[in-house]
A and B are shown apart, each in its own frame.
Chain A
């Protein structure tokens, strides 16, 4: 009853709020905005294998904690993230729910869904929500519906981007330029999985579990360490240096720009195959075993690198499991660990001002020592 928990200001108003949360002005808004422009296909992105792999892994195991993509301009960072959105298979959600609750998980339903006498499941696309720079806090957390407040003098909660991103992805391009108070807010919600809004004497809490994807260019400012930590995987992207790859990048992009529909049609088969691989991996994931040897190797690797806390090991294991699932393997091998160690660990190394080498090199060095191929 308390999805919009009014603090004893009268049942009538509480009901108002709740009705609104259930009917959700946002649903219609979501429907009213179809993706007009075709998106560059994920499978057509040239190179940048580590970035693509990290994003697929995050899609296989959303609990991993998201992906941070940092690097050069023009490496297709945001193109790839948007391409992932188009690739994701749709999900089931409770019809009419503002938070797209999962009907298969009664424990995680929002208050409104729990209170509803019956729930109808519908198929919706997985939300990939953009948090644009310049967004104001009220739109991020949700706030009172200004229209109804003005016109009817009624308090109705209008969910924000965090509600919209629940069960999906929240994408922040130029995450290093995001304003500090929004970063604090995101850290808080990402840690608790819940968004709490206090406004006009009403107090609303709703589930907000999403995969955080951030991208940026380090030349424009560094990311606060607290936020860096929060991402499960971190990828560094570089412009390809060999000519044939560059030519391919430019040619594909050019032909996409010239005729997007035709280009997407030409890649439809590859896209379908990638989607199938993703689905298969999700099914396989709970069955992937982690043998003792792999666990031990992961621990030794983290010790050798001096990563802070246990989060490094946990993420490394989870990512290796998801990678094994993507490969169709039922057991995590040392090879899986090797392939995913850099993205899982490079942002958890302590800074050493005397070590000029980039984090990736340090991970590689430790890999060569601990897990010689």
Chain B
């Protein structure tokens, strides 16, 4: 056992971490490969350093630590041909990537909340295989890459999180407190013994079943979570020098592994209103408990205890966070649809290179092209001894790939009917103008749809021009009945079009919700309202982020129903408050 001169015990101003959180670091040190790693959500600072120090002190001396920078290219992530070494040696020399270099150690992924889905997918494949399967630059190899990954997540907004595929492969999801209070952790010498003990630790079936049941009760679907919980429980027993998993170990595992993944509250909770579960809960989950007569009261007890433990560990405001996360997920999905198109962009952020022909508009990646040509130079010189000193052929050509961050098209749908105009069309216009200025700053495109009388009119197709947008609004007359459904349809059409163009639409509907003209132009409230709800469904299905601003002085429940039907955030704005409106739009705007 080494007397660990850990940075943590070195002291100076290290903070105190909650016991559970600190224990997670030790558990990870006991079974780094089995537990996969952790998501450490915290700003850079003392708390994060303290946690990492606990992990470091509990790991075997000399365990390697590698940093995975954000936006690392495939050649560094997975490895490839080391060109300079290859040319010097006259034979192909492979360069190992960060993942292969991390073999046997810890990999720290910086700013994991901004990691690309594609990067995460590569890392996940490597974690699953325990090796880098390299098929790159003429090299074919399988390099061992068994590591634990600590994703340093510095996200602030709830939807800024590390990619889901990656989180699924990391046992612990830890949110560190902002400020830390007292003194540091002790060195862990028990970890070494625990690692030796771990393969012999047994876990009874009833504990395994109770952990699975606790996961199910909290809406944790991925079986990896339950597996991680079993492993965490074993590691906890080993750390305590025991050969059997106790209730306390299972309890800790439930708190550390299952609770952070909860997607719903346990079904029998009475002090909380039943949240709308993301997926319908198994209708027979309560029946199932009766289905298993072999399950003794003791076991039911254990399961309830685990659920309670996990429940207690749930952070406050869980549901709100979940809803935001769902919204973000939906948004990302919508972005994915446009992804293919955007990858063909000619500007934006460079994301590597690809083979291709040098056509007009394509941008040559000079260095990559020369890299590709380099190994073949001896061969080509032999063929064409009198050719140019560097012989580049068309198959060497590499083009820059860009990913254009999808711009937003903000579509304003303004109710210019008599009822709304009476209420405050001018104020609504003022608010929209303020928003326009906002959008201009963000380089968003803006479209304006107005509806009044019999139908909706696209006053302004998507444009980046602020002046035109303002002009179109200024000339907008008010009065007449409210063809709400037509307005929504026109907006949905623009939204679909901008999605096809690789932009992310954002729909802002300003109305008092007093629909009285049906789609076919006939009068009558019931038909108009039914049409409005029907027009709302496709908007929700398409996952278009939207906001309904109720401009009525006394908000009417129907506007709220429309908002729900279109999956929009509902913002009643009985008093003109452009600042609040602007804030709401900014919040609804895709990140």
B77 touches A134 (CB 8 A): yes
Which B139-166 residues have C-beta < 8 A from chain A?
139-140, 142, 163-165
- Which one of B138, B212, B288 lies within 8 Å of A143 (CB-CB)? B138
Please give, as numbers and ranges, the residues of chain B lying within 8 Å of A121 by CB-CB distance.
none
Bound CA span A245–B117, Å:
30
Bound CA span A9–B384, Å:
12
Nearest residue (CB) in A for B34 is A257
Report the minimum CB–CB distance from A112 to chain B (whole Å).
20
A283 within 8 A of B: no
Please give, as numbers and ranges, the residues of chain A lying within 8 Å of B215 by CB-CB distance.
246
Per-position binary interface string of chain B over residues 80-123, scored 1 when its CB falls under 8 Å from any chain A CB and 0 otherwise: 11000010001110000000000000000000000001100110
Known contacts A133-B122, A199-B395, A244-B288: A29-B140 contact under CB 8 Å: yes
B226 touches A250 (CB 8 A): yes
Per-position binary interface string of chain A over residues 144-178, scored 1 when its CB falls under 8 Å from any chain B CB and 0 otherwise: 11110111011100101100000000000110110
B221 touches A158 (CB 8 A): no
Known contacts A72-B221, A151-B90, A250-B230: A138-B138 contact under CB 8 Å: yes
Report the minimum CB–CB distance from B74 to chain A (whole Å).
4
B365 within 8 A of A: no
Known contacts A200-B393, A219-B329: A254-B376 contact under CB 8 Å: no
A221 touches B339 (CB 8 A): yes
Chain B binding site: helix, strand, loop or mixed by DSSP?
A: helix
B90 touches A246 (CB 8 A): no
- Which one of A133, A139, A150, A153 lies within 8 Å of B121 (CB-CB)? A133
Nearest residue (CB) in B for A146 is B138
Report the minimum CB–CB distance from B171 to chain A (whole Å).
13
Known contacts A139-B135, A146-B81, A149-B376: A218-B222 contact under CB 8 Å: no
Bound CA span A224–B339, Å:
10
A131 within 8 A of B: yes
Please give, as numbers and ranges, the residues of chain B lying within 8 Å of A179 by CB-CB distance.
343, 354
Q: Which of A145, A160, A241 has the most CB of B within 10 A?
A: A241
Please give, as numbers and ranges, the residues of chain B lying within 8 Å of A131 by CB-CB distance.
135
Instruction: Tally the A-B contacts, defined by beta carbons under 8 Å.
Output: 183
Which B166-197 residues have C-beta < 8 A from chain A?
168
The count of residues in chain A whose C-beta lies closer than 8 Å to any C-beta of chain B is 68
Report the minimum CB–CB distance from A171 to chain B (whole Å).
11
- Which one of A37, A134, A146, A198 lies within 8 Å of B375 (CB-CB)? A146
B379 touches A153 (CB 8 A): yes
Bound CA span A177–B541, Å:
23
Which residues of A does B touch, CB under 8 Å? 9, 29, 33, 37, 72-74, 78, 130-140, 143-147, 149-151, 153-155, 158, 160-161, 173-174, 176-177, 179-181, 198-201, 217-222, 224, 239, 241-244, 246-247, 249-251, 253-254, 257-258, 353-354, 356
What would 14 more interface pairs be, CB under 8 Å, given A134-B136, A136-B137, A353-B538?
Answer: A33-B142, A73-B168, A74-B168, A136-B136, A139-B135, A139-B136, A139-B138, A147-B91, A176-B336, A200-B395, A246-B216, A251-B205, A257-B34, A257-B227
Which residues of B does A touch, CB under 8 Å? 34, 74, 77-78, 80-81, 86, 90-92, 117-118, 121-122, 124-125, 128, 130, 133-140, 142, 163-165, 168, 199, 205, 208-209, 211-213, 215-216, 221-227, 230, 279, 282, 284-285, 288, 291-292, 329, 332-333, 336-337, 339-340, 343-344, 354-356, 375-376, 378-380, 382-383, 393, 395, 537-538, 541-542
Q: List 12 A-B contacts (CB under 8 A).
A: A73-B164, A150-B375, A174-B124, A181-B354, A181-B356, A200-B379, A243-B216, A243-B288, A244-B291, A250-B208, A257-B227, A356-B541
Question: Lowest 9 CB-CB distances: which A-B pairs, in order?
Answer: A221-B336, A74-B222, A139-B135, A135-B135, A146-B138, A239-B221, A241-B282, A134-B74, A250-B226
